Amino acid sequence: MAQFWKDSDHLLWTLILYYAGAMIVASGPAETICPTAPQPATLLDYAWLAEGDLPEETRLKAQQRLQGHLAWMEDNLPVRWGSYGMIQRGEWVFQTMHDRLLTGTYDENQNALSAALLEGNYNCVSATILYQILADRAGLPTMAMQTRGHVWCRLLSRPDLDIETTCPTWFLLEPHDRDQSPASSAGSEAQTLSPRGLAAKIPYNQASMAAATLDYPLAIQRLDFALKLDPSDAAANRNRTAILNNWAVACVSQHQCDQALEILQQVSRGSEDDEQLAENREKIINAVVEQWCRASRFQDAIRLLQTQPSEGSDLHRLGLIYQRWLADASERGQWTEVKNVLRDALADLSDDALTLARLRRQYRQHLPG
């Protein structure tokens, strides 16, 4: 991106670059042509990508709005821009952003750069993306920062200056008031965000919104996209596991046990040592087993228990299922099935003499005549 320079600076660096370029050409082999290295994607590129299926017409309108403001900035630089310090320049860029672009209101669910540009509403993600884009054009070095549930911009001045991009009057606040902000309160918990990481907060927040409305498939789809942009986002990985767990619980409550078990397999991968998740998993397994027994799917319930990590109570739980299965087959008059159930129980519960004794007694009680 172009930058705003003082005229004297511009002329000096033009001469230096021209001289350096001439020296490189003169010193290198005439027949060698170096291919142009691909330019890394910009924050703006990542922001458009992160919005997903953004209609091309909407993207073009937002792009035109942004380019129009960048042109306005270049044409309306303060007369004394060259004498401004970095913080003064950062304040001017910030103020023009809120005066001319972010003219709506703060909306915690408004993550998209396109909507910020076209509607004027914003949250910490969309406002920080926009400010970094504008600051970059003005030649100001910035870095996105994050803490739990919040992002902001850090101007790499001397000293560094944290900027709450959602506060239109940030530069007018007294130091005491700024110290109350999330950015100041974060302290050592504050972490840097790469351009990819910042853009990934768009689908990350969309996933949280979808989960809040119990649209778990959409939430997982958006989180997977966020993790594709920023695989190192630990919060996204944790949220993905939590949402999958909640989705599995919801499936059980809707008697969609097979789907619940499929989802549970995703929860288990990489989280075997999480005690809370292990407890939730056991509750879900027990609920599925109960529903299958009520639906006379005793064999499925037994196989499910047999695939789980071995616990001391497993034989007891298997014995209870076999007891219910014997009673159910007897009530239906399926005596061949009754015999087969007892045979399988004898094999599976050979180490539990007490349960086997109960099953034999139950078998004799249910025999006809």
Residues 31-58: pLDDT tens digits? Answer: 333 334 344 489 999 999 999 888 999 9
What DSSP designation does 147 have? E
Q: What beta strand segments (E) does the chain contain? A: 142-147, 150-155, 161-163, 191-193
pLDDT at 314: 75
Query: How far is the first Cα of the chain from the last one, in angstroms, to the nearest whole number?
Result: 92
| High-pLDDT (> 70) share of the chain, % | 86
Structure tokens at 2: 């172009």
Flag whether pLDDT at 113 surpasses 50. yes
Measure the CA–CA gap between 62 and 308, rounded to whole angstroms.
Answer: 53
Best CA proximity match to 322, nearest among 292, 355, 294: 355
pLDDT at 25: 37
Q: What residue spans define the domains of the chain?
A: 41-197, 312-369
pLDDT at 355: 84
Flag whether pLDDT at 22 surpasses 80. no
Measure the CA–CA gap between 357 and 346, rounded to whole angstroms.
Answer: 10
Measured from the Cβ of residue 329, the count of other Cβ atoms closer than 10 Å reads: 21
pLDDT at 311: 56
Is 43 within 8 Å of 198 (Cβ atoms)? yes
Flag whether pLDDT at 29 surpasses 90. no
Give the mean model confidence (pLDDT) for residues 139-155: 95
Is 366 within 8 Å of 330 (Cβ atoms)? yes
For the chain, the average pLDDT equals 85
Flag whether pLDDT at 4 surpasses 70. no
Burial class, 267, CB count within 10 angstroms (exposed 0-12 / middle 13-18 / buried 19+): buried
**How many C-alpha atoms does 296 have within 13 Å on its Cβ side?**
9
User: What angle is formed at CA 85 by the lines to CA 81 and CA 90, rounded to 5 degrees?
Assistant: 80
Q: 3-state DSSP call for residue 283?
A: helix
pLDDT at 273: 62
pLDDT greater at residue 158 or residue 98: 98
Q: 3-state DSSP call for residue 352?
A: coil
Burial class, 23, CB count within 10 angstroms (exposed 0-12 / middle 13-18 / buried 19+): exposed
pLDDT at 19: 38
Measure the CA–CA gap between 10 and 243, rounded to whole angstroms.
Answer: 53
Q: What is the pTM of this model?
A: 0.76
User: Is omega for the bond preceding 159 within 30 degrees of 0, making it cis?
Assistant: yes
Quick one: CA torsion of 139, 141, 146, 149, rounded to 10 degrees? -10
Measure the CA–CA gap between 208 and 267, rounded to whole angstroms.
Answer: 17
Structure tokens at 186: 């974060």
pLDDT at 352: 84
pLDDT greater at residue 178 or residue 28: 178
CA pseudo-torsion sign 138, 43, 143, 37: negative
pLDDT greater at residue 28 or residue 359: 359
pLDDT at 126: 97
Flag whether pLDDT at 90 surpasses 90. yes
Dump pLDDT digits (tens) for 275-329: 777 788 888 888 899 999 999 999 999 998 888 765 545 788 888 999 999 899 9
Best CA proximity match to 46, nearest among 138, 105, 135, 112: 112
Q: Which of the four pLDDT bands, split at 50, 70 and 90, describes residue 14?
A: very low
pLDDT at 184: 84
Is 51 within 8 Å of 205 (Cβ atoms)? no
Q: 3-state DSSP call for residue 153?
A: strand
Measure the CA–CA gap between 152 and 183, rounded to whole angstroms.
Answer: 7
pLDDT at 270: 56
Give the mean model confidence (pLDDT) for residues 180-207: 92
